[in-house]
Amino acid sequence: MKAVDTNILVYAHRREAPRHAESRAQVSALAESRAPWAIAWPCLSEFYSVVTNTKIWKGRASSPAEALGQISAWCNSPTLELLSEVDTSLELFASLLMTAQVKGAVVHDARIVAICLAHGVRALITADRDFSRFPQLAYECPW
């Protein structure tokens, strides 16, 4: 199973975002496939935070209704699995933090990796190279 990171979700949603077409095509292909795919809950909350942030989108941020509508559309995919922490997440998280010597903002990435690993995700689709710090999970850039 593959999971999708926040940046790909943002790019797929925002037409003016870099790589919008490629990201939208990637997410649509996953949503329309018969194969299971995933989004970690922290990615959904971060997506909402980013696309509704007026400081990021100087022209016009997405409204709360638009952002929630997009999340709802993804969640309507019958093959989507929403991932959250499980009993083994703390152990995985701590191991990732220590092995990669994680500090600061990359802690959020370690959390996503721990959640993905706990659910058997084999690859994370992302444009964020910080995930290369975690070789336990493959990462794929859609372009």
The Cα angle at residue 105 between residues 121 and 54, in degrees rounded to 5: 100
Predicted pLDDT of residue 22: 96
Q: Where are the alpha helices (DSSP H) in 14-88?
A: 20-32, 41-51, 64-75
Single pTM value for the model? 0.95
Coarse DSSP helix, strand, coil percentages of the chain, rounded to the nearest 5 percent: 50, 10, 35
Task: Specify whether the CB–CB gap between 61 and 53 falls below 8 A.
Answer: yes
Predicted pLDDT of residue 142: 82
Break the chain into its structural domains and give their ranges: 2-140
Percent of the chain past pLDDT 70, that is, above it, reads 100
Q: Which residue has the tokens 């997506």?
A: 47
CA–CA distances in Å: residue 77 to residues 7, 67, 72, 96, 108? 19, 16, 9, 31, 26
Q: What is the DSSP letter of 63?
A: P
Rounded to the nearest 10 degrees, what angle do helices 64-75 and 6-13 cross at?
Answer: 110
SS3 13: helix
Q: Domain 2-140, what fold?
A: Rossmann fold (3.40.50)
pLDDT digits (tens, 9 = 90+) for 85-108: 999 999 999 999 999 999 999 999
Taking the C-alpha atoms of residue 125 and residue 78, their distance in angstroms, rounded to an integer, is 19
SS3 37: strand
